[in-house]
Amino acid sequence: MKNEVIGKCPVCSNDLEVVRLSCNSCGTVVEGNFRLCKFCYLTKEQKDFAEIFIKNRGNIKEIEKDLGISYPTVKNKLENLIQALGYKSEPQKDSYKKEILEKLNNGEITAEEAIVLLNE
């Protein structure tokens, strides 16, 4: 089994670039400076999350079940992935709203209480 190409230098963490491609079937070699796709620069954790996200068609409840994590954690991982792919992230919700969602997720407050608190 071959290793997966890495996108970041293990020494300095800068982006790597491909300089040689070869065909195992016919032996053709192509040399030059080639950029890797943006997914190659993701960490293994980010790639794994992207795969789970796609498998579950973006259904956060299913992602929560698959990974055994809370709603806010799924949202944080998604924001991290969006940023890593070079897209602007939504302005972060203040920590108060995250705290309310965590309490709701942990069963410390009811959905009705959470709605009231979030609408204040």
The amino acid occupying position 42 is L
- As a three-state string, the secondary structure of 20-41 is EEECCCCCCEEEEEECCCHHHH
pLDDT tens readout for residues 70-119:
888 898 899 999 999 999 876 655 667 878 888 888 898 899 888 887 87
Q: pLDDT (tens digit, 9 = 90+) per residue, 21-57?
A: 999 999 999 999 998 899 999 999 999 999 999 999 9
pLDDT at residue 1 tops 90: no
SS3 42: coil
* Residue owning tokens 């299913």: 62
Whole-model pTM over 0.75? no
Within a 13 Å sphere around the CA of 26, how many CA atoms are in the beta-carbon half? 3
